Amino acid sequence: MPIDLKTLGLFLVTALMEILGCYLPYLWLREGKTIWLLVPGALCLAAFAWLLSLHPTASGRVYAAYGGVYIFMAIVWLWAVDGVRPTGWDLLGSAVALTGMAIIMFAPRAA
């Protein structure tokens, strides 16, 4: 089961766009920041949808596998942006999610 770094990178950028697309409105709603954050937030969510469409496999498989990458990126965000160090359980859960993503995306398939 070879790991395709292009696919993995695409998933990581996709997750970053989704997280930013949700975080920017959060800043407006919960932190009292400017409403103008909705504009880049909407652009990030549009980029997220577009990036998901770039995968050359069935959409359902992409969406299922993407969930594992999203979990990993959310834990990275927890540490990098929220300043909360992930627990061992957070890291184990992320590893399980990424393992699931790898199985879904990179397992051999009949042509």
What are the pLDDT digits (tens) for 73-107? 999 999 999 999 999 999 999 999 999 988 988 88
Q: Please, are residues 58 and 65 in contact by the beta-carbon 8 Å criterion?
A: no
DSSP string, 20-52: HHHHHHHHHHHH---GGGHHHHHHHHHHHHHHH
State yes or no: pLDDT of 1 exceeds 60: no
The amino acid at residue 93 is G
- What is the average pLDDT score of the chain? 91
State yes or no: pLDDT of 65 exceeds 70: yes
Give the number of domains in the chain: 1
Higher pLDDT: 17 or 111? It is: 17
In a domain, 111, yes or no: no
Q: How many CB atoms lie within 10 A of CB 47?
A: 17
In a domain, 33, yes or no: yes
In a domain, 14, yes or no: yes
| Boundaries of domain holding 41 | 5-106
User: Measured between alpha carbons, how far is 61 from 64 in angstroms, rounded to an integer?
Assistant: 5
